[in-house]
Amino acid sequence: QVQLQESGPGLVKPSETLSLTCTVSGGSMTSYYWSWIRQPPGKGLEWIGYIYFSGSTNYESSLKSRVTISVDTSKNQFSLRLSSVTAADTAVYYCARTYGGDFYMDVWGKGTTVTVSS
Partner 1 sequence: IQMTQSPSSLSASVGDRVTITCRASQSISTFLNWYQQKPGKAPKLLIYTASSLQSGVPSRFSGSGSGTDFTLTISSLQPEDFATYYCQQGYSTPLAFGGGTKVEI
Residue among 104 and 115 whose Cβ is closer to partner 1: 104
Question: Contact with partner 1 (CB under 8 A): which of 11, 81, 106, 115?
Answer: 106
Nearest 5 degrees, angle CA 102-CA 108-CA 113? 130
Question: Contact with partner 1 (CB under 8 A): which of 9, 54, 110, 115?
Answer: 110
Please spell the DSSP secondary structure of the chain, one letter per residue: --EEEEES-SEE-TTS-EEEEEEEESS--TT-EEEEEEE-TTS--EEEEEEETTS-EEE-GGGTTTEEEEEETTTTEEEEEE-S--GGG-EEEEEEEEETTTTEEEEE---EEEEE--
Question: Contact with partner 1 (CB under 8 A): which of 30, 41, 102, 118?
Answer: 102
Binding flag, residue 115, partner 1 (CB under 8 A): no
Binding flag, residue 1, partner 1 (CB under 8 A): no
In the complex, minimum distance from the CB of residue 13 to partner 1, in angstroms, rounded to a whole number: 26
Each residue 38-57 as x (binds partner 1 by CB under 8 A) or -, in order, gives: ------xxxx--x-------
Binding site residues, partner 1, CB under 8 A: 35, 44-47, 50, 58-61, 94, 99, 102-106, 108-111
